[in-house]
Structure 1
Amino acid sequence: MSTEAKLREEICRLGRSLFERGLTPGSSGNISVRCDAGFLVTPTNASLGFLDPARLSLLDAGGRLVSGDAPTKEVPLHSALYETRGASGAVVHLHSTHAVALSMLPEIDPRAALPPLTPYYLMRCGATALLPYYRPGDPAVADAIRGLAGRYTSVLLANHGPVVAGATLEAAVFAMEELEETAKLHLLLRGLNPRYLSPAQIVDLATVFGLDLPDHLHKS
């Protein structure tokens, strides 16, 4: 099986896993993976639970359709993350319930949508930026992503959902799952004065695991 064929199968396998666990309903959410020809992306109006490897959209490096069905309207979002996160090999965008709920809270810090609740959140997601609302498919969201200058691998789109980039598709999916679970924890603990990781503990994680975290997290 060729590398591209394996990537196609992996997109469908992990997409189905996300769908079956209720992490993105209906035909919401989209996945892309870099490949030699450019990148593979899920088609528009396609459920992640019922993807066909042969019908995935193959785009060239400029985002033009080479083969397959018409791609998701969120291609500009994916392209901007690849452009600004050069080491990223995959991007996952979902409409997962707790992350969407988090994106609607008025007190969220756009530099760090979630506090440092757990080590694995920081290790897999880093800090999560919050972007203002854009209509789904609006090309302006790509400019907003570029405005982050590659500092974030995980982003929340207000009233819409999370977007995560990873070195591989598996890494991006694991980070997305961690983001959703941390959003759930945050909502469960809201108003209960939970104990967050201390600045010293954050510095320790950053040092041991080579994390590139914003300075303000170290001073939280």
Structure 2
Amino acid sequence: MSEEAKLREDICTLAKSMFDRGLTCGASGNISARLSDGTLLVTPTGRAMGFLDPARLSHLDEEGRLISGDAATKEVPLHTAFYDTRTGTGAVVHLHSTHSVALSMLPEINPDNVLPPLTPYSIMRLGKVKLLPFFLPGDPNMGDAVRGLAGRRSAVLLANHGPVVAGKDLWAAVFAMEELEETAKLALLTRGCRPRALTADQVAAVVRDFDVRW
């Protein structure tokens, strides 16, 4: 199986997995992944992630022009902002996952780091997650906001909209996205319960031992 064929299959398999587990619903969410030639495979606009056809994924050239397949998601500028600014990005996942969206709406969250340090794994896989302001869906200014971070963050949370995560490859991006959603869920479940979060020294140890950009 060729690189492209394998990546097409993996995008559809992982998209269906997330859809089936309720991490995205309806026609929400989108995924992109970069091929070795620099072109992108992207989930099409208006398609449910649980029912994607590998042959109909959007194939975009390095300038974002459609080579083949259906029309790409309107969030392409959001994806390309990560590829253009964050070295080593191989895939980007954007969902409207419930707990992450809920967390984005709470007035007390830290906009520079929305996830409380409840487990080491969110730190290891995500680093600090930046809260970005609300934008209309498809607004190219979302991409501009990501570019303004100059590659310093692998994940952002769009206020009242959902998380966006970049990874070295498709599997890493999906695993990190799932960690973000699970940590947001933990944060909501323990809200008002005064949970014992990791101490500053414990966070520093995770950052040091796992070479996290913090």
Q: What TM-score results when the alignment is normalised by the length of structure 2? A: 0.98
Secondary structure at the residue paired with 1:88?
Answer: coil
Unpaired stretches in structure 1, ≥5 consecutive residues: 214-220
Alignment of 1:101-140 (within 5 A): 101-140=102-141
Partner of 1:4: 4
Q: Could you tell me how far 1:117 is from its partner in structure 2?
A: 1.0
Cα distance per residue 1:133-187 (max 9 Å; x no partner): 0001001111100111111111100000000000111111110111000000000
Matched, 1:16 2:16: yes
Q: 1:197 and 1:83 mapped to 2: Cα distance?
A: 33
- Residue 34 of structure 1 corresponds to which residue in structure 2? 34
- Identical positions, percent: 66
Q: Corresponding residue for 2:86?
A: 85
1:104–1:158 contact (8 Å) kept in structure 2:
yes
Which ranges in structure 2 are unaligned for 5 or more consecutive residues? none
C-alpha separation in 2, matches of 1:109 and 1:150: 20
The runs of at least 4 consecutive aligned structure 1 residues that moved more than 6 Å come to none
Could you tell me how far apart the structure 2 residues matched to 1:108 and 1:204 are?
A: 23
Displacement of 1:37 in angstroms is 4.7
Counterpart AA for 2:176:
A
Letter in 1 for 2:65: R
Amino acid of the residue matched to residue 57 of structure 2? L
CA distance in 2, matches of 1:37, 1:104: 36
Give CA-to-partner distance per residue, 1:47-71, whole Å, 9 cap, x none.
1100001100000111111110000
Structure 2 CA distance for aligned equivalents of residues 169 and 30 of structure 1: 12
Deviation at 1:196, TM superposition (A): 1.3
Q: How much does 1:99 deviate? A: 0.3
Tell me the SS of whatever aligns to 2:6: helix
Shift of 1:84: 1.2
Q: Distance in 2 between matches of 1:197 and 1:183?
A: 15
Is the CA contact (8 Å cut-off) linking 1:37 and 1:59 kept in structure 2?
no
Contact (CA 8 Å) 1:81, 1:145: kept in 2 or not?
yes
Whole-angstrom CA distance in 2 between matches of 1:37 and 1:141:
22
CA distance in 1, matches of 2:108, 2:132: 13
* Whole-angstrom CA distance in 2 between matches of 1:114 and 1:204: 17
Question: What RMSD over aligned residues (CA atoms) do the two structures have, in Å?
Answer: 0.8
TM-score, with normalisation over the residues of structure 1? 0.95
1:33/1:41 contact within 8 Å kept: yes
Q: How many residues align?
A: 213
Deviations 1:105-157 (A, max 9, x none): 11221110111110011011111100000001001111100111111111100
Matching of residue 141 in structure 1 with residue 128 in structure 2: no
- Pairing 1:212–2:213 present: yes
8 Å Cα contact 1:103-1:157 kept in structure 2: yes
Distance 1:147 1:110 in 2: 15
Give yes or no for contact 1:30–1:94 (8 Å, CA) kept in 2: yes
Structure 2: distance between partners of 1:168 and 1:210: 18
Q: Specify the code of the residue in structure 2 equivalent to 1:170.
A: W
Query: How far apart are residue 198 of structure 1 and its match?
Result: 1.0
